[in-house]
């Protein structure tokens, strides 16, 4: 389209600088439109947290699951635009209820945040140090 426009301007006016000016304008539009795509691609390559997820919000939501006392070491990253991964340590009030807690957490992550793959590590609410004796 720019070539047609510049051809018409040159044919009717003889003003030849229109051709490189329109070329620069089109090049500028291409660069501006590709910056967003470049930013998203670099973010994905660096396995950054998806732009639509706030780790603090995900952590607070996990902490509301019955049986979860707290959440720490929460990491969320993306390896493709459609695949979000999560890993976290969950301090659990009763480790005997881990299967129920795990299922509730996976349901929450899938339905509310669209996270299909999560690695969750349970930790007891009270840790006791056991000394080994030789």
Q: Which pLDDT tens digits describe the chain residue by residue (134 residues)?
A: 888 888 888 889 889 998 899 999 999 999 998 998 888 778 777 777 888 899 999 999 999 999 999 999 999 998 877 789 999 999 999 999 999 999 999 999 999 999 999 999 999 988 654 545 54
Q: What's residue 125's pLDDT?
A: 86
Alpha-carbon span 70 to 62, nearest angstrom: 8
Q: What's residue 127's pLDDT?
A: 66
Q: What is the pTM assigned to this prediction?
A: 0.66
| CA geometry: angle 49, 53, 58, nearest 5 deg | 105
SS (H, E, C) 54-90: CHHHHHHHHHCCCCEEEEEEEEEEEEECCEEEEEEEE
Residue 131: φ, ψ to 5°: -90, 135
Q: Identify the DSSP state of 28.
A: H
End-to-end CA distance of the chain: 84
Alpha-carbon span 111 to 76, nearest angstrom: 16
Q: What's residue 3's pLDDT?
A: 84
Spell out the residues 6+ positions from residue 89 whose beta carbon is closer than 8 angstroms to its own: 71, 72, 73, 74, 120, 121, 122, 123
CB 113 within 8 Å of CB 81: no
């Amino acid at each position: 389209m720019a070539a047609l426009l510049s051809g018409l301007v040159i044919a009717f006016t003889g003003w030849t600088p229109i051709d490189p000016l329109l070329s620069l304008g089109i090049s500028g539009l291409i660069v501006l439109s590709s910056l967003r795509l470049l930013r998203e691609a670099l973010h994905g390559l660096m396995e950054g947290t998806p732009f639509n997820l706030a780790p603090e919000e995900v952590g607070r939501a996990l902490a509301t699951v019955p049986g979860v006392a707290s959440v720490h070491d929460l990491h969320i990253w993306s390896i493709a635009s459609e695949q979000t991964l999560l890993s976290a340590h969950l301090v659990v009030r009763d480790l005997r209820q881990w299967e129920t807690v795990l299922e509730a957490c996976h349901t929450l992550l899938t339905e509310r945040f669209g996270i299909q793959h999560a690695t969750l590590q349970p930790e007891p609410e009270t840790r006791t140090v056991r000394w080994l004796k030789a």
